[in-house]
Structure 1
Amino acid sequence: MAQHIKSVVPDHPASVAVLKHALAVLLNMFFIIAFTVVVALFTGKVREVVSLMAAFAFLRQMTGGVHLKSGMGCVLVSVLLFTVLSYVEFNHVWTTGATVVSMFLILLYAPAGIENQTRIPPRYFPLLKVAALIVVGCNFWFVNPVTAAGFLAQSLSLISLRRWRTS
């Protein structure tokens, strides 16, 4: 697809490699949303899934997180994650606990792995952390278990497993 775009618009400043990356990101996002919503239509959890995807994606833009090696792996894991989390039924205590744990993980690890993924200068990364803490902290007001689960899943993705491996 990138080759075709470049052949149609050869003077465009983006290289084929840049176009391939942009297309991969867009296609992954499209397939994650489409497949997750289709599954949610069958499970009757559309509202929950849409809430989860929105909370997860919004927080991920501010905090970063682990990236899988393959696009297909990302799609499969994301669809499975959102589908499973759509069944979460935390009570008030568990929702509050998940929110607290999410905030703690953000405080410790955010932002993670966004250095080469954003145009935001590193000097603003502490502001991203504060914004993420405020966003997650809003769940103390709403006490939404599905949102808490999405925030917790995203916050857990900030932890680098490489940090815990011994060589």
Structure 2
Amino acid sequence: MTRTTVVAAVAGLVMLAGCDSSTEPAAPPTSEDALTTPTEEPSEDTEVTSEPAETSEEATSEEPEAEAGDMTSDGAEAAVAEYFDMLTAVHLKEAEPADLDSLTTEDCSTCEVLRDVSDTGDGEQQYFRLINTEGLATGESAEVRASVEQLEDGQVVDLVITLIWGDNRWSIEEIFLP
């Protein structure tokens, strides 16, 4: 036998091994078999979770919340939010008026009026709710436009709040109507 004959014979046997003697076609897979593919079971070392792994982009995309000690527009907005939170705390008798004074300058006449009104509160309910803020800081001064809701009557009031930078934080300088 020649080498070509041997190769042809082996190839023929390999092809015939895949066939059976039946003349009937094979049954099609069931609908469930057609829709699923076998998967390898996880080993004991594999961690099974229902949450996707956090990517490095997701891990770094969260920005830290601004603080009143940041000399930025966001920091000025945070100082305004802190002021209204403290105003509420004084009104609810959860803080002292002096705590509120520490967030303002001595020249803020509106701040004095709001402090006095809050200090005479009954401690039963919140007086103001800060709705939104939009600030612009330029150097050591900032202006924040804010909307607050007076909870007693539901009236929304737009305010302009000026701030000044000093002692590594923003202080409320004045509050007025636009």
- Which interval holds the TM-score relative to the shorter structure? under 0.3
Q: Structure 2-normalised TM-score?
A: 0.22
Structure number with greater CO (CA < 8 Å, separation at least 6) is: 1
Relative to its length, the structure with more strand (as a share) is 2
